[in-house]
Structure 1
Amino acid sequence: MIHPDVIGCDIAKAHLDFFDSGLERHFRIDNTPAAISAWLDGLDGRGVHIVFEATGRYDRQLRIALETRELPYSRVNPARARDFAKAIGLLAKTDAIDARLLARMGQSLPLSTQAPDDPARHVLARLHTRRDQLVAMRQQERTRLHETEGIERDSAESHMAWLDAEVARIEMACRDVLKAEKTLQEQEARLRSIPGIGPVAALTLIAHMPELGNRSAKAIAALAGLAPFNVDSGTSRGKRHIRGGRKRIRDALYMAALTASRMPRAFKSHADQNEGGRQALQGPSSLRLPANCSPSQTPSSGTKQPSDEPPDKHSCQPVQVPALKKTQTQRCRSAAPASTGKTVTSTRHSAQARNAPGNLTATRIILLLFLTKP
């Protein structure tokens, strides 16, 4: 639905910039509950729709006030707002210009109305974010532990012990939130029934993907950034790639996919089939060892046989096989002029890097996790 009377809002930490399309007026207020409430008091009787960008915690006060008064609003992706600005030829960027841009975006595009936040899920999301921060700090201390000694090591170990206790305390608080909400508890039980989904992955999905259960499998895969999008033009058929989406969801599902690929069930057989197919496509290695040759006898790269001794026909000899097809980067490097001494490198990642062992299998299993119904 396209809304005729739209108010665009650019959000900053200290203030909010508005552009009222009905009054053709720009104004600024403080980003505080009192200032927002006073502004909303002047909107009584007007059927307005507020459009603003998602800015994390900075838009929290505005969302609470709008939901309390049951006023419709759209919380748009900042990247989509910038794409809209480029589409209409708007290159300048200020707070006032962004507010006007968002108002025009709401008038031109059918933006969906944001559903009210679930308070319990919001608390769970903040606790989960805090847990991620603590886990990241603990990993940093573990990395430093190998380089410390004496008092430094004692300090790192004591800090890690405190972080372990704090992570456990946050996880207990998350469990209390889940137990208090029957809906979230049932959703966790369904998620835990999927092979590979553990308590951390289930908590991540519940906290950071509230759309789960209300959208189709394809829409959920796109939100997670796991849907392969087509790139076709005319007779050209490009290779499908995944992009965008929520990184934290992908991280959790990747670990779940690795766990599921090792379980003696359908996922493991699917992973084994993918592994065998990839090895068949990649071909054999550059060296083959005869039956009577051990790995320690394999000549290193660039090693030559001694010229004063004839080679033994039964000795270990490298068997050359056809080389793999050159990647895009290798072709560009070989085409670089020798006189300049510079290497021309393509910005396209090589196919071998994209299809490194484990990546393709894990991605397919992750998609199966989304498409599997409990």
Structure 2
Amino acid sequence: MYNVGIDVGNKELVMVIRHKGKNQKARTFSNTSDGHAKIVKTLSVKKGGAKICLEATGVYHFDLAVALNHAGLNLMVVNPKAAKHYFEALMTRSKTDQVDAGILAQYAETMPFEAWVMPDEKIIRLQAFSRKIAALTRLKAQTKNQLHALESNRAIPEIIQEETRESITFFEMQIQRLKEHALALIASDEELQRPFEIVTSVKGIADASAIQLLGELLVLPKDMRNRQWVAFAGLDPRHHKSGTSVSKKPRISKAGNSYLRRALYMPALCAANRDPYVKAYYRHLIDNQGLKKMQALCAVMRKLLHAIHAMLKNNVCFDNTRFFNMAEVEIL
């Protein structure tokens, strides 16, 4: 039996194969579908099978885990905190991607194997719809900006403007068609219908935003806490202090799932304008806490994610009266 550790990064995957108590030379692959296919090909030919261990690293490990699972390979995805404690117990002096991959291979060799359970196929399909819609929406926005620039320049031929308008129309048709397929998928499955009803109970979350949110949230492990959701979205504050001279204001880390972060932006903005309790919280952060508008909006996004976590966990719809105690401040 071979034991394999894979250190997952944004762009690279470092793999170490351990056999008979010894680590083989580390190999590096790109964190793309081609890189995943090469890893599958390498491990599929190992006689006696292989146990693969990788760490749950935000959004970057998921596509690899799906590829390994589809190939029928033995995979476990360890909690980052468990991996950290194991690393500390070994008292390793160096920390590199190669070292981390080797320790994960050792983890697979010595610790009880807990097979990773892949999310339901329908949830993965929903995520595929949501991400394609998000990509097309960005392309449409970029093309609209190009059209605005073209219309401002009289020297640009009309045919170029017409082609650009047709591109925008084409993107809109694609988005609408994919949205309809996603909604049909949700309507066909009771396990998707109820979460959809729950998230759309928030004033500011309509069909499009609900598709985006559920596509990213439903693939997450059931035991993840609300703070882990926040960190997964990259909405956790990052502090920058060094000695007594460097002390910058905290900013969101953005070290997480950008799809989820973008999916939360418009719902938070709409809720801050339309829901009286969310608006009161937003104004309280600006008027009483001295936050800038964007900082306050990020705080609303973070708290809204906390609320969605509780709603899905307890199978209840949104109760805006619990979002903020309006008695604490004067409502503007």
**TM-score, normalized by length of structure 1?**
0.60
Please state if 1:359 is matched with 2:260: no
Counterparts of 2:285 and 2:37, CA distance in 1: 56
Q: Which residue of structure 2 lines up, in the alignment, with residue 74 of structure 1?
A: 77
SS in structure 2 at match of 1:262 = helix
Counterparts of 1:111 and 1:89, CA distance in 2: 26
Pairing partner for 2:180 from 157, 167, 172 = 172
Q: Which residue of structure 1 lines up, in the alignment, with residue 224 of structure 2?
A: 215
Q: Which residue of structure 2 lines up, in the alignment, with residue 7 of structure 1?
A: 4
Counterparts of 1:215 and 1:60, CA distance in 2: 19
Deviation at 1:186, TM superposition (A): 0.8
Please state if 1:31 is matched with 2:38: yes
Deviation at 1:187, TM superposition (A): 0.7
Q: Which residue of structure 2 lines up, in the alignment, with residue 182 of structure 1?
A: 190
SS in structure 2 at match of 1:117 = coil
Please state if 1:369 is matched with 2:304: yes
Q: Higher helix share goes to which structure? A: 2
Q: Is the 8 A contact 1:51 1:76 kept in 2?
A: no
Deviation at 1:35, TM superposition (A): 6.2
SS in structure 2 at match of 1:226 = coil
Counterparts of 1:157 and 1:239, CA distance in 2: 43
Q: CA RMSD in A?
A: 4.4
Given residue 158 of structure 1, which amino acid in structure 2 is its aligned partner?
Answer: E
Counterparts of 1:18 and 1:253, CA distance in 2: 37
SS in structure 1 at match of 2:157 = coil
Given residue 63 of structure 1, which amino acid in structure 2 is its aligned partner?
Answer: N
Q: Is the 8 A contact 1:6 1:49 kept in 2?
A: yes
Deviation at 1:239, TM superposition (A): 6.5
Deviation at 1:107, TM superposition (A): 6.7
Deviation at 1:222, TM superposition (A): 2.6
Deviation at 1:99, TM superposition (A): 4.8
Q: How does 1:261-280 map to 2 (within 5 A)?
A: 261-277=272-288
SS in structure 2 at match of 1:31 = helix
Pairing partner for 1:154 from 159, 162, 184 = 162
SS in structure 2 at match of 1:197 = coil
Q: Which residue of structure 2 lines up, in the alignment, with residue 20 of structure 1?
A: 18
Deviation at 1:76, TM superposition (A): 7.8
The structure whose Rg is larger is 1
Counterparts of 2:260 and 2:128, CA distance in 1: 15
Q: Is the 8 A contact 1:226 1:367 kept in 2?
A: yes
Please state if 1:50 is matched with 2:53: yes
In 2 relative to 1, CA 19–162 (structure 1 residues): closer, same or farther, beyond 3 Å?
same
Paired residue total: 278
Q: Deviations over 1:344-367 (max 9, x none)?
A: xxxxxxxxxxx43x2232123223
Q: Which residue of structure 1 lines up, in the alignment, with residue 256 of structure 2?
A: 245
Deviation at 1:142, TM superposition (A): 1.0
Q: Which residue of structure 2 lines up, in the alignment, with residue 258 of structure 1?
A: 269
Q: Which runs of 5+ in 2 are unaligned?
A: 28-35, 151-155, 312-316, 318-332
Given residue 365 of structure 1, which amino acid in structure 2 is its aligned partner?
Answer: V
Q: Is the 8 A contact 2:126 2:182 kept in 1?
A: yes
Counterparts of 1:160 and 1:110, CA distance in 2: 53
Deviation at 1:50, TM superposition (A): 3.0
Q: Higher strand share goes to which structure? A: 2
Deviation at 1:112, TM superposition (A): 7.8
Q: Is the 8 A contact 2:233 2:260 kept in 1?
A: yes
Q: Which residue of structure 2 lines up, in the alignment, with residue 89 of structure 1?
A: 94
Counterparts of 2:242 and 2:114, CA distance in 1: 30
In 2 relative to 1, CA 30–135 (structure 1 residues): closer, same or farther, beyond 3 Å?
closer
Deviation at 1:208, TM superposition (A): 1.2
Counterparts of 1:231 and 1:32, CA distance in 2: 37
Q: Is the 8 A contact 2:68 2:75 kept in 1?
A: no
In 2 relative to 1, CA 228–212 (structure 1 residues): closer, same or farther, beyond 3 Å?
farther
**TM-score, normalized by length of structure 2?**
0.66
Pairing partner for 1:137 from 128, 133, 139 = 139
SS in structure 1 at match of 2:287 = helix
In 2 relative to 1, CA 250–154 (structure 1 residues): closer, same or farther, beyond 3 Å?
same
In 2 relative to 1, CA 204–110 (structure 1 residues): closer, same or farther, beyond 3 Å?
farther
